[in-house]
Amino acid sequence: MTNPFQASPGRWGKTCLCLCLLPGLLIILPLIGRAHDRLGSFVQHTVHVAVGAQHLDVTLDLTFFEEWSARERKAMDADSSGIITRSEQEAYLRRIEADTCNHVKLFVGGHEVPLGSLYPPEIDLLTDNRVGPAHHRLRLFFFVTTPAGLRAGDEIVVEDKLWPQANILVTPQMEGRNGCRLATGLPADADLLPGKAGQSRRIAFKCLQPPSTKPAAQAEHRRGPVPTASPGSGQAPLP
């Protein structure tokens, strides 16, 4: 007669495996929760540099997590109603646009090149226009005429002083046009660069090959900003 309390070797092996994994899970799960809580105090800065024969474009795509999104939403809510209206978002973007060129600088080959505004800034509240902890995204667009003296080996550095009190995660992205080749000088698996509040934020790219010259009448391929829903609509988050 088979003993109902005697486990088969296969079942006993699975039971032992589960018992061995349980302590690890008990340690890892609280760490995951704490990591998520800590991420709420960060602002992610995606810094995209595109270099072509005629223009050098710099796009900053900022994602505000819970703590900093709540702060900025409160700053947008001029009438303290708890709801961020379209006009309040537009007024906030005007303030941002008037001041951002003072906090974002570009250096090419060791020399500062003054940035200009390429497109108006865009904001996406990600379907939630209430004041409080949430996420939202802000996109800023800059450009300069590509320096004529750009050479292979030159560094292209973006100095980012936006929201200096916040902890940040930096994601560098690059795009070479008209034969230009760029590198970040980072390991292939380095997607995020953490930075502490008040820390100098200099995101460096290296020109491996400058763009080829071309007749001025032939325009380089240049993408405009991705259309988003109008402020306050709460639709179509940025890609």
Residue-wise pLDDT for 95-143, tens only, equals 999 988 889 999 999 999 999 999 999 999 999 999 999 999 999 999 9
> Whole-prediction pTM value?
0.74
Which CATH number goes with the domain that contains 47? 2.60.40
pLDDT tens for 12-43 read: 555 555 555 555 444 443 433 444 457 888 99
Question: What pLDDT, on the 0 to 100 scale, is given for residue 213?
Answer: 80
Please answer whether residues 209 and 179 qualify as being in contact, where contact means their C-beta atoms are separated by less than 8 angstroms. Answer: yes
Is 25 inside any structural domain?
A: no
- pLDDT class of 232 with cuts at 50, 70, 90: very low
- 9 assigned to some structural domain: no
Q: Are 120 and 224 contacting, i.e. CB atoms less than 8 angstroms apart?
A: no
Indicate the SS3 state at residue 83: strand
Residue 51 lies in a domain: yes
Q: What is the residue range of 167's domain?
A: 40-65+103-122+139-209
230 assigned to some structural domain: no
Task: Report yes or no: 62 and 47 within 8 Å, Cβ to Cβ.
Answer: no
Of 211, 232, 228, give the one whose Cα is nearest residue 220: 211
Q: How many domains are contained in the chain?
A: 1
pLDDT the model gives residue 99: 86
